[in-house]
Structure 1
Amino acid sequence: MNDKIFRKLRNFCFRAFLAGVAASLSFGVAGCHGKHEHEHEGEESHQGHSHNETLQLTAYNSEFELFAEAQPFVAGQESEILAHFTKLSDFKPLEKGKVSMKLTIGGKSVSVVCDKPAHPGIYEFKVRPEKRGEGNLSFEIEGAGGKSVVTVPGITVYDDEHEAHHEAAEAAAKSSNGIVFPKEQSWNVEFSTEKVASEPFGEVIRTMARVEPSQGDERVLVAKSAGTVRFAAADLTAGKAVGSGQALFTIDSEGLADNNMSVRYQEAKSAYETAKSEYERKEELAREKLVTESDFRKAKNEYETAAANYGNLKRNFASGRHSEGSPMSGFIKKVYVRNGEYVEAGSPVMEVAQNRRLYITAELQPSKYHALRDIVSTNFKTASGSEVYSVADLNGSLVSYGRSVDEDNPLVPVVFQIDNTVDLLPGSFVEMYITAGRGERSLTVPNSSLVEEMGNYFVFVQLTPEFFEKREVKPGKSNGLRTEILSGLKENERIVGKGAVLVKLAQASGKLDAHAGHVH
């Protein structure tokens, strides 16, 4: 086992206060070998004082974060490099793929190829620069998605070992309020970093809103005639899932003295047969010009009316009862009557809903009316407060807002419509953030990056991908997803986006040496 990797991972184990990492981090190291463009005549032994400073190198491209810990580069001496590769898509380690490292100094290069990681995300290289000078260190990653190159500029190779280690010590990240959070730890939790950027940030209107069913997503089923309600199944209660066309209930008028559907059906059948016979008789007479045109049209109208009435009763009430099925797939929202209860025609029996589309309705003070003309974005937080959603991400949009108020309700209604892909409950309330106008450009951070302590707010600024500085900031307004920062940060500084609470826990576990667990 490579002793330097072992020390790094052993020290990490002692402070892995978050469960979920492997109990044993023992692994075999595959050696990676390189080729120099020029052969060496001999090797120099290390002279002078013992040094243990480590270069901490960080670079990014559009796909990867590179964090490398390297022994300072001295001409003619071998330096070991532990390169940590993190995928920016999910901030998880690069688990497989070939990586080619190239150290270029003064136009001459030394290359090393590593076919696989020594441990997920960690590649080990050994390189011996030939002469002093300035240059860069590049890593070419080959994987299923193709090739990707990450380059670290500003690499210096020294003649003097003491100078190299002195400069490495001077360049090391330092902070009196720093927290170590190793890559092996961040890879095992939900974690990410991002650059602080400025963006237009308008007025934010914060209010409570009610979730309501969308029109067309609910249907009330009514009794088409008077009679006794008979449910199709005993478990037809609120919340029961139903399919389109599924039988729900029947209305039985058998045995009723009034509005008996069996009697009405027989009457309609008799009237239909009589009207049909009279129409056919007068049709024959009309051909021979033995009846007037008006008498023939009257017989025809009476026949058509009787046929329509009889057809309707035949389809729905042939047996003295009519059945009702669900008009759509969904669930039973409400049952208005009991099984076996008598109802009049037109009485509501059941309500079926889908909840595929929902309205979110807020009511605002009239002073906010003019801001509603320029709504930029809308977010909302559920009652539990655990999730914040963007209306745009839920295929939502502004439906309307009120153009007038009245004495009974002097508030302006604002209605949004969304796809209910997050299982919101109609009738519940959400906290809504309506951003209106572009406003001035401001520095913003995700809400998840802020931690609060006794009324003060902090973020964790990245000094290296394993070392973060806790810094107090002054927050401004928030749109539910991002918060304006009035002071404490600079544009392009990189901060912890997800996982800030875990970094805070790392701080609470005890003050750690900024270099603990690093390769020296």
Structure 2
Amino acid sequence: MISTLMGRTSVRPLFLAALLPLFIAGCSLPKVTEHTHDHGHDHDHGHEHGEEEESSVTLWTDQLEGHVEFGHLDAGTPQEFTLHITRLDSGLPVDAGDAVLQWKKESDGSTLDVRVPAVRPGNYKTTVTFPAPGHWDLTVKLSLADGEVQLIFPDLDIHDHGHTDGPDAVHDHAHDQEEGHDHDHDHGEDHDHDHDHGDDSDHVHADGTVYASSEDVPGNAIFFSKEQQWVLPLVTAQAFRGGLVERYRIPATVQETPHSRAALTAPLSGRLLPPEGGSFPGIGEEVEEGQVLAGVLPTLQGGEALARESNIHSLQGQRTELAVQAAQARGDAERARALVQQHASALDRAERLQVAKAGSQREVEEQRSALASAQALLREAEQTEAQVRKALAALPTLESREEEGVAAWIRSPITGRITRLAAGPGTQVDGGQMLIEVVNADEVLIEGQVPEVLAPALSRPLHACYELPAFPGELFEMEAPEGEREPWLQPQVKEESRTVPLIFYTRNQEERLRIGMTLTLLADGKKEEDALQIPHSALVDENGIPTVYVMLTGEHFQKRPIRTGISDGVMTEVLDGLQEGDRVVVRGAYAVRLAGLAGGGVGSAHVH
């Protein structure tokens, strides 16, 4: 239960009667952490109404952080509230439009409702006047893109300083006096704020949300405003318990498997030709297993070369002669067709004249004989033309003669991509010369170099993931191809490096890995079943001492040296210095460190 006590916000204990002797002795309420902090300065707890002492309450849910700031809360006078709402996953302010703030009094259920527009994303300010003292719960309602959310800040203690009269005022005033807190006079004594950090259950709601008040802030806390945090942005995470596997960082390289690269060579000396009916392949082109990529025409020497050249000239002469004959036969056929047409017309005229008794039978017979002769000439010309065309078509081309001399086709033995071409079509190549390289990187081999002292510490069976320089902190699992051997730690130590090769086969369907690439293997070692752990990114090296910055409230942090245990590269075990539920800075820790070095403590300027 949160109450405003002597101008500051504190946690009201569940067993108040047991704590009365502490108040009589001049001690403050127990604080909700597990470390003892001596503020080392005097506190004047007198509250004159012209003096405002700022308090704050911070609440964390699974998704959001709510931070409310206010002065000494009195009934009957305007009270200013400043609210900051932050997304825990990104550290950025929410963009939710208006917020609905409702204060509800515990004793009679009376409420105050205010709709507050955002001053800027995540930042709200409003002023309310409480009609009566007592314990009021503040509920903040927001409409986010992923649904409606609400934050509940319980038990804000509104005091009566003579501004209101009535049963509630009398009750709460008497309640304060029973607890030994007279707010109208100066205590005039030093208070040693030793914090008994025992049970912190008062800081946990039934729904699992966690809250803290500015009363929990020790004197050496570092102030870092919400506006500064949002610029970074600053991100925090809670320490929690769970299983953790130690992982060793091992340098490694990506290599091809024995069957993932093929170098195609010329089977004999000759001239390189493209595949039959296709084009010569290019770099980057995908090829299939068994696909013909090129051919080699053997090089002819001495008499064979002269005979081949003579054959080529003879072939060219025959082609020319047949082409001339074909043209002549085509002309003869055209002339014969014209003559047939002429005699057919003359025969038709002679027959019409005979019917009209103007012509003789002899003229008709002469035209029929002439037409038959012309038709015979046409048939002869067409036959000659057809024979010449057939002979020309049967004559082999120069290209077909070259293909008859190809001794071997070059085929790809694997499916993959062409990564190298050493020669192009028409190039004279020597037997055994490397011509084409094909690589398939769908499956690769990762080889790490394990220092010999770590080899016995690796888990059995062997397991590891890898981290790429381009994605620090992001771990990728390996998937062994079907039929490949299990991960293997070689039995011998390399003499020159004193390391043991560790080999993993893995699929590479997303083409994330490139042959020859360097990366880091994170090989499994021992496992802790119930380790208190925090993100590794929270650690700051302070002269060799691992240190974290703990968020105490929304704007206050504490530097905390810790002792670490095992780590998997992402999470690190904490052996001492933190408790489960402590919230540490995982992004922006160095900015908080600089604020602490600059003297940004609790008394730092705070302007919103």
Where on the TM-score scale, by shorter chain, does this alignment land: which range? 0.5 to 0.7
Q: CA deviation at 1:195?
A: 0.4
Partner of 1:291: none
2:251 paired with 1:172:
no
Q: Distance between the aligned counterparts of 1:379 and 1:446, measured in 2?
A: 18
The change in CA–CA distance for 1:118 and 1:206 in structure 2 (over 3 A counts) is closer
Q: Distance between the aligned counterparts of 2:68 and 2:479, measured in 1?
A: 42
Q: CA deviation at 1:80?
A: 1.0
Contact 1:206/1:432 (CA < 8 Å) preserved in 2?
yes
The change in CA–CA distance for 1:404 and 1:95 in structure 2 (over 3 A counts) is closer
2:270 paired with 1:184:
no
Q: CA deviation at 1:119?
A: 1.2
The change in CA–CA distance for 1:251 and 1:68 in structure 2 (over 3 A counts) is same
Partner of 2:209: none
Partner of 2:241: 198
Given candidates 525, 542, 552, the residue that maps to 1:463 is 552
Q: Distance between the aligned counterparts of 2:576 and 2:525, measured in 1?
A: 23
The change in CA–CA distance for 1:76 and 1:407 in structure 2 (over 3 A counts) is closer
Partner of 2:105: 105
Number of equivalent positions:
410
Q: CA deviation at 1:118?
A: 0.8
Contact 1:391/1:418 (CA < 8 Å) preserved in 2?
no
Unaligned runs of 5+ in 1: 1-46, 233-239, 267-312
Contact 1:201/1:441 (CA < 8 Å) preserved in 2?
yes
Q: Distance between the aligned counterparts of 1:231 and 1:175, measured in 2?
A: 81
Contact 2:269/2:428 (CA < 8 Å) preserved in 1?
no
The change in CA–CA distance for 1:61 and 1:439 in structure 2 (over 3 A counts) is closer
Q: Distance between the aligned counterparts of 1:216 and 1:226, measured in 2?
A: 27
Residues 490-505 of structure 1 mapped to structure 2, 5 A cutoff: 490-505=579-594
Q: Distance between the aligned counterparts of 1:337 and 1:153, measured in 2?
A: 80
How far does the alpha carbon of each residue in 1:395-429 deviate from its partner, in whole angstroms, 9 at most, with x for none?
A: 78997223873698994634152647695442243
Contact 2:96/2:142 (CA < 8 Å) preserved in 1?
no
The change in CA–CA distance for 1:242 and 1:492 in structure 2 (over 3 A counts) is same
Partner of 1:388: 473
Contact 2:220/2:602 (CA < 8 Å) preserved in 1?
no
Given candidates 520, 530, 534, the residue that maps to 1:445 is 534
Q: 3-state SS of the aligned residue for 2:117?
A: coil
Paired letter, 2:474: Y
How far does the alpha carbon of each residue in 1:127-151 deviate from its partner, in whole angstroms, 9 at most, with x for none?
A: 2222222242111101333210111
Paired letter, 2:114: V
Structure 1 window deviating more from structure 2 (442-451 vs 419-428): it is 419-428
Q: Distance between the aligned counterparts of 2:186 and 2:550, measured in 1?
A: 25
2:133 paired with 1:114:
no
The change in CA–CA distance for 1:434 and 1:325 in structure 2 (over 3 A counts) is closer
Q: 3-state SS of the aligned residue for 1:439?
A: strand
Paired letter, 1:130: P
Q: CA deviation at 1:55?
A: 1.9
Q: Distance between the aligned counterparts of 2:542 and 2:270, measured in 1?
A: 66
Q: State the TM-score, normalized to the length of structure 2.
A: 0.57
Q: Distance between the aligned counterparts of 1:202 and 1:166, measured in 2?
A: 56
Q: Distance between the aligned counterparts of 2:568 and 2:561, measured in 1?
A: 20
Q: Distance between the aligned counterparts of 1:429 and 1:450, measured in 2?
A: 26
Q: CA deviation at 1:197?
A: 0.8
The change in CA–CA distance for 1:437 and 1:324 in structure 2 (over 3 A counts) is same
Residues 67-466 of structure 1 mapped to structure 2, 5 A cutoff: 67-106=67-106, 107-114=108-115, 116-160=117-161, 163=183, 171-213=214-256, 218-223=261-266, 226-229=269-272, 242-244=284-286, 250-253=294-297, 255-257=299-301, 317=403, 320=406, 330=417, 332=419, 334=420, 340=427, 342-344=429-431, 348-353=434-439, 355=441, 358-362=444-448, 364=450, 368=455, 371-374=458-461, 378-380=465-467, 382=469, 387-392=472-477, 400-402=486-488, 405=491, 411=500, 413-415=502-504, 417=506, 419=508, 423-466=512-555
Q: 3-state SS of the aligned residue for 1:253?
A: strand
The change in CA–CA distance for 1:491 and 1:132 in structure 2 (over 3 A counts) is same
Contact 1:114/1:123 (CA < 8 Å) preserved in 2?
no
* RMSD value, Cα: 4.5
Q: CA deviation at 1:497?
A: 1.0
Contact 2:253/2:446 (CA < 8 Å) preserved in 1?
yes
The change in CA–CA distance for 1:187 and 1:404 in structure 2 (over 3 A counts) is closer
How far does the alpha carbon of each residue in 1:433-455 deviate from its partner, in whole angstroms, 9 at most, with x for none?
A: 22245324222222211111221
Unaligned runs of 5+ in 2: 1-46, 163-181, 188-192, 194-212, 276-281, 312-398
